Amino acid sequence: MQALLTPVIAFFAVYVAASQWSTARNKLRLDLFEKRYAVYEAAQKFIGSIVTSGKVKDDSVYEYMVATRAAKWIVSPEVDEYLQRELYNPALRLQVLQTMLEGEPVGDVRSQNSAQQLALKTHFNAQYEQLDYWFKAYLQLSH
């Protein structure tokens, strides 16, 4: 009986260690998911603020920059590039166009500016689906 006791204790020790390792691994996955989802949510909020108001506000740009700063490390460099290229840079362009439009008299320059703004606002409206596409692989929880 004593000869069997040692292997049984060893088996339970290995089982407990494996369970702890699995729990720690799942916790890491959940923590990473939460951080990635926070970046996704910040991008959604940023797009939403532009689509609903038609304007780019300084405080929403700042919030977006802060919330997505770590995207290259916790999501991927490609997603970070997408966030910069398709959201941040067009938002700055829209902001500049809006500033240039103030005080501009009716004419060709104003019409061109308005057309460019419309194109950018349409671009932002399409980014909801693009955002889902870019984040889909990073926000999957497998069981």
Residue 77, token pair as written in the block? 């460099």
Which of the two residues, 143 and 84, has the higher pLDDT score?
A: 84
Q: Is residue 143 part of a domain?
A: no
Position 116 scores a pLDDT of 95
Position 106 scores a pLDDT of 83
pLDDT at residue 79 greater than cutoff 80: yes
Residue range 53-68, pLDDT digits in tens: 999 999 999 999 999 9
Position 92 scores a pLDDT of 96
Q: Alpha-carbon distance 28 to 22, whole Å?
A: 10
Domain that holds residue 96: 37-138
Q: Is residue 28 part of a domain?
A: no
Position 1 scores a pLDDT of 73
Residue range 114-136, pLDDT digits in tens: 999 999 999 999 999 999 999 99
Position 8 scores a pLDDT of 87
Q: Is residue 81 part of a domain?
A: yes
Query: How many structural domains are present in the chain?
Result: 1
Q: Is residue 11 part of a domain?
A: no
pLDDT at residue 142 greater than cutoff 90: no
Burial (0-12, 13-18, 19+ Cβ within 10 Å), 95: middle
Q: Is residue 124 part of a domain?
A: yes
What average pLDDT does the segment 26-40 reach?
93
pLDDT at residue 38 greater than cutoff 90: yes
Residue keyed to tokens 């991008």: 43
Q: Is residue 2 part of a domain?
A: no
pLDDT at residue 10 greater than cutoff 80: yes
Position 2 scores a pLDDT of 76
Q: Is residue 4 part of a domain?
A: no
Q: Alpha-carbon distance 54 to 57, whole Å?
A: 10
Position 143 scores a pLDDT of 52
Q: Is residue 85 part of a domain?
A: yes
Distances 6 to 2, 12, 17 between C-alpha atoms, Å: 7, 10, 17
pLDDT at residue 7 greater than cutoff 90: no
